Amino acid sequence: MGRLFGTDGVRGIANSELTPELAFRLGKAGAYVLGKEGQRPVVIIGKDTRVSGDMLEDAISAGILAMGGNVIKIGVLPTPAVAYLVRYFHADAGVVISASHNPFEYNGIKFFNSDGFKLDDEIEDEIEDIILRNTDVHTNITGELLGRSLEANEDALSLYAEFLKGTVDVNLVGMKLVIDCANGAAYQVAERVFRELGAKVTVLFNEPNGHNINDKCGSTHPEKLQAAVIREKADIGLAFDGDADRLIAVDEKGKILDGDQMIYICAKMLEKAGKLKDHLVTATVMSNIGFHKAIESIGAKVETTQVGDRYVLESMLKTGCVIGGEQSGHIIFLNHTTTGDGILSALQLLQAIKQSGKKPSELSKEITIYPQILKNAKIKNEHKKNYMEHPEVKSEIEKMEKIMGGKGRVLIRPSGTEPLVRVMLEGENIEQITTLAEDLATLITKFLS
């Protein structure tokens, strides 16, 4: 068995790679590591709408109960709801059963700590080590020491909905929305929140059947949302992914707003209100040049991290930055919550739009998005850390940057799972950067494969 934890928990095809046996062992090891010594740990468990969710929920629950932990099952709710409710119920940990934007046959398990943050690498390693070494952590837990499945004394969905509404101080009366729930975890709570704030809402893909999550819908497939926004003459469209921790928006003209554009619009609102701490925004190396220029135009600056929302969060915790995220729509509002939250991000975006008095298309025009081209170059694994040291590669990159004359950039980063590097070029002329990207990928493959 190879490494279990990836960048976002343990994932795989349900009942093949991610089996009930593995979920049971994760429950036992997680309860052992995350429980406070001498106390019975309490773990919140939430899931998305995949057919395998019930199986994995029962299996991981059994593992936690076998270690003497208690579980509170909150049912189908977004990933960020679990992060919030862990704090609300003063639980020791949270578990989310979801594979985010992946097809329904996949599933995943990830943990949150008692503060609602994803686990540090060291804690994941400790849990993983127990499983891979097949360590017996069952320390004579029988009889009255076994855990129980508890009933929450308050409705989890209502608690989360009230929390979300409390993150904005404007109502949505007069706004016409179309929302795409991806047949996923947001299918109940999203519509409720927007309607209770006064918006007129048309809902797409909110009839999950266990198999249709993310199926040609949601944040990775916004085409039907775009068409619906135009058809309904809506002010904006909002698309979530399967576990509703990310958001992609569509303006009133049917044009997509990605994470860079939404972060800029919200950062401008925060800066105007004096709430953008140290005039700082956090983004990854993949953030667009146009995004950086737009942030600078409002008197702020960008802190850049590796690709991945966990790296964005790590940086934000160090700097105190209150907003950060990725192009994919993972946006963290650290003054409100501990993880990406698609519905919360949508509410902040709607507040920014309403306060500005402008249409979404007008706000998005304030940021010029430069074309980006991504190509893969196959290389040997031993070169994944030293590709920039090769003289031919280094020289070619310098030559390309001169050709673009300061109006573009070259970014190369290794794949975390495959023997290749990803070559990204960004610039004003898409034909030019496409040719340059292809040439560079070919050169890297020639010398390093």
By annotation, the residues acting in catalysis are 100
What's the Cα-to-Cα distance from 318 to each of 266, 321, 339, 394, rounded to whole Å?
Answer: 21, 8, 15, 32
- Residue 223 is classified by DSSP as H
Query: What does the alpha-carbon distance between residue 262 and residue 294 come to, in Å, rounded to a whole number?
Result: 12
The alpha carbon of 23 is separated from its chain's Cα centroid by a whole number of angstroms, namely: 22
| Pairing mode of beta strands 236-240, 247-250 | antiparallel
From edge to edge, which strands make up the β-sheet containing 372-378?
372-378, 420-427, 408-414
426 CB-near residues (< 8 Å, 6+ apart): 288, 289, 370, 371, 372, 373, 408, 409, 411, 433
Query: What does the alpha-carbon distance between residue 69 and residue 31 come to, in Å, rounded to a whole number?
Result: 6
CA nearest to 301, candidates 271, 331, 326: 271
3-state secondary structure of 302: strand
Query: In sequence order, what are the beta bridge partners of 448?
Result: none
Give the HSE-up count for residue 54: Cα atoms under 13 Å, Cβ half-sphere.
3
H-helix segments, 35-155: 53-66, 79-88, 121-132
Structure tokens at 175: 């706004």
Scan for tokens 């010398």, then name that residue: 447
- Residue 235 is classified by DSSP as S
Structure tokens at 291: 């995004």
Structure tokens at 440: 């560079």
- Is the separation of the CB atoms in 164 and 238 below 8 Å? no
| Pairing mode of beta strands 42-47, 10-13 | unpaired
H-helix segments, 257-387: 259-272, 289-297, 309-319, 342-356, 360-364
Query: What does the alpha-carbon distance between residue 300 and residue 295 come to, in Å, rounded to a whole number?
Result: 6
Query: What does the alpha-carbon distance between residue 336 and residue 346 come to, in Å, rounded to a whole number?
Result: 13
3-state secondary structure of 265: helix
